[in-house]
Amino acid sequence: MALNVNELMGPMLEAVTGVFGKRWPKMRDYAEGETRKLAESLAQIAQLRVSQEISEDEARVLLEMQKNTARAVLLAVEGMGLLLAEQAINAALAAVRGTVNGALRFPLL
Amino acid sequence: LAVWIAALLLIAGCRSIQLVSDYDEATDRGAAELQRKMSDFFSRLQTFPRGAEELRFDRSREFYRQAAVDLNALRVRAGGIRMNLLTLEQLELLEENLAQVVLTHKGCIEGLSALTPEQAEARQQAIRQQGVDLTMDCRVSHGAVADLPDRGDQVISPGFVANAWRQFDQGLGAVMAFELAKRRGENARQR
């Protein structure tokens, strides 16, 4: 039996949308919260320098460290994005598993 | 979209795909434990007045050594887990930050602002390649601005400590947040 792409598309899209609807808000909340922390840290470095509690050299080191911290946070966000993509793909495949395997008469998925 | 669906079905050929490593409890616990140790260390430093004997580098060197060992152990473990490059990179960045704190504590960064962009980049490379320099000296080969001996009596400034503490909290928090996300991903895979 031939597979109809249009028939597969509906359940797959629905599954992908479901995963994004459930997971995306959590990821967005994490990214927003961490961005705020980075901004607060940057403001603290500036304030410490203005009040002469740290030297210009120390401010530069803290800024270099801040860049690394921001990268570490973005790597977490990137990883969460990959997990989101993985879950969406797997949900899409699961949504049409029965249809595809039935049509092929062997368990491809 | 039709092409995407067809490609997906063709490449899948299995029940599910995996793009990120499984949750690793040892990494999660190790990062949490290191974060606790860092908080304990930085909060203790903040109780001393500027210039106090307790703020000398030689008083803190053993803590830095232990923290470097902990980070290295986490990094080696992360490197042995497949599809774990993002966590590995996170830990390398944290190791660089620890190296920066140690250099600053030893007073090895004086004159940093006067470096050319090329010299500053070379310094960053040295830190990346050599890691945390636990000797009592400042060494250009390890990211210091100048070669200087016997820096054990150098003290760290409370202002620097305040921000460095915040950065380790956030960096180690990012490692833990990603591990927790992996655990949720693993649970979803098993459903």
Q: pLDDT tens across B168-184, in order?
A: 999 999 999 999 999 99
Q: How far is A55 from B116, CA to CA, in rounded Å? A: 18
Which residues of chain B neighbour A93 with C-beta distances below 8 Å?
8-9, 12, 15-17
- Please, which residues 18-77 of chain A have a Cβ atom closer than 8 Å to chain B? 30, 34, 37-38, 40-41, 44-45, 48, 51, 53-58, 60-62, 64-66, 68-69, 71-73, 75-76
State whether residue A7 sits within 8 Å of chain B by CB.
no
Mean pLDDT rounded to a whole number for chain B: 94
A71 with B157: Cβ contact below 8 A = no
B93 with A69: Cβ contact below 8 A = yes
Q: What does the DSSP assignment read for A95-109?
A: HTHHHHHHHHTS---
- What is residue A109's predicted lDDT score, i.e. its pLDDT? 81
ipTM of the complex: 0.92
pLDDT band for B15, please (50, 70, 90 cuts). low
Specify whether the backbone of A52 is left (phi greater than 0), alpha (psi in -120 to 50) or beta.
left
Q: Mean pLDDT across the stretch B133-160?
A: 98
From the candidates A27, A56, A58, which should be mutated to test the interface with B, based on the most B CB atoms within 10 A?
Answer: A58
- What is residue A7's predicted lDDT score, i.e. its pLDDT? 86
Which residues of chain A neighbour B121 with C-beta distances below 8 Å?
none
- What is residue B182's predicted lDDT score, i.e. its pLDDT? 97
Q: Mean pLDDT across the stretch B47-62?
A: 97
Q: What separation in angstroms does the CA of A54 have from each of A43, B103, B123, B136?
A: 13, 15, 21, 22
pLDDT tens digits along A33-66: 999 999 999 999 999 999 999 999 999 999 999 9
Q: What does the DSSP assignment read for chain B?
A: -HHHHHHHHHHH-SS----SPPP-HHHHHHHHHHHHHHHHHHHHHTTSPTT-GGGBHHHHHHHHHHHHHHHHHHHHHHHTSTT-HHHHHHHHHHHHHHHHHHHHHTT--TTGGGS-HHHHHHHHHHHHHH----SSSB-GGGT-SS-BS--TT-B--HHHHHHHHHHHHHHHHHHHHHHHHHHHHHHHHH-
Q: Mean pLDDT across the stretch A76-97?
A: 94
pTM score, two decimals? 0.91
Q: How far is B150 from B58, CA to CA, in rounded Å? A: 10
Which of A5, A44, A60 is facing B163, going by the closest CB pair? Answer: A44
- What is residue B170's predicted lDDT score, i.e. its pLDDT? 98
- What is residue B9's predicted lDDT score, i.e. its pLDDT? 59
Which residues of chain A neighbour B16 with C-beta distances below 8 Å?
90, 93-94
Which residues of chain B neighbour A85 with C-beta distances below 8 Å?
19
- What is residue B82's predicted lDDT score, i.e. its pLDDT? 95
Taking residue A109's Cβ as centre, other Cβ atoms within 10 Å add up to 18
- What is residue B4's predicted lDDT score, i.e. its pLDDT? 65
Q: Which two tokens stand for residue A105?
A: 């008469």
